[in-house]
Amino acid sequence: MDGMADDMDRKRMTRILARADRRDVAALAAEIQKTHAPIVVKEPGKTLAMIKMREPVKESLFYIGETVVCEASVEIGGVRGMAVLMGGDPEKTLDMAIIDAAVNKGVFTGAATLLALEKGQLERIKRENAMHLKTMVNFESMDRGSDDLAADKKTRF
């Protein structure tokens, strides 16, 4: 994607935008609109996405259920962009579509902002993870003299 780091693919970009506060996404879209006039191709609207899973017993696919998503599509200088986002936030979805179109057109200049947002998001997630890892159990065998320990080593993986 033009103007982005080599390892910034669309999945990573949309993950950052989806996790971001809507005001941050709006600010990025507003920056684009200062110099470009996006045309809304598809107004934000709700639809469903069916969630496909793979179960580990027979390695087959099944549907666990659906989720509500909002979708929107815009065009900048004849180049399309679109966004699909869980939940029902039409403004944020439209702003994400504008950013997507700007990326496709090669006129997006907010790469550094995306990285800064991602840094903050990852830090929060990693701090939450630290809280959860504090609940990791350290088992100690109560019966070191028996064969149980040997048996236990066999099943340790």
Partner 1 sequence: MAYVAVSGGEEAIEESIRLLDFYRSGTDKDLETEAIENKLSLLVDRVMSEAGLYAKTLAVLALKQCEGSMEEAVFLLRAYRSTLTRNYYTRVVDTEGMRLTRRISAAFKDIAGGQILGATYDYTHRLIDFDIGRETPAALRRRIAETLAAQAPEDITPCPRVSAELKKEGLIDGFAQSDQAPHDVTVHTLEFPAGRSARLQTLSRADTGFISGLAYSALRGFGQAHPTVGELRCGYAELCLPYPLDETESVYIGEIMITEVECFNAADGKNQLGLAAGYGAVFGRSETKAIAMAVLDRELEAGGPYPAQDEEFVLTHGDSLEMNGFISHLKLPHYVTFQSKLDAVRKRRSAP
- Does position 61 interact with partner 1 (CB under 8 A)? The reply is yes
- Does position 144 interact with partner 1 (CB under 8 A)? The reply is no
State the sign of the Cα–Cα–Cα–Cα dihedral 67, 76, 30, 100: positive
CA distance 38 to 95: 10
**The one among 26, 69, 107, 111 contacting partner 1 by CB under 8 A:** 69
Amino acid occupying residue 39: I
- Does position 30 interact with partner 1 (CB under 8 A)? The reply is no
CA distances (Å), 97 to each of 32, 53, 70, 71, 101, in order? 11, 27, 11, 9, 6
CB of 27 to partner 1, least distance (A): 20
Backbone angles phi, psi at 136, to 5 degrees: -70, 135
- Does position 80 interact with partner 1 (CB under 8 A)? The reply is yes
Please identify, using beta-carbon distances, which residue of 136 and 150 lies nearer to partner 1: 136
Which residues in this chain contact partner 1 in the complex, by CB under 8 A?
9-12, 14-15, 18, 46-69, 71, 80-88, 104, 122-133, 135-137, 139, 152, 155-157
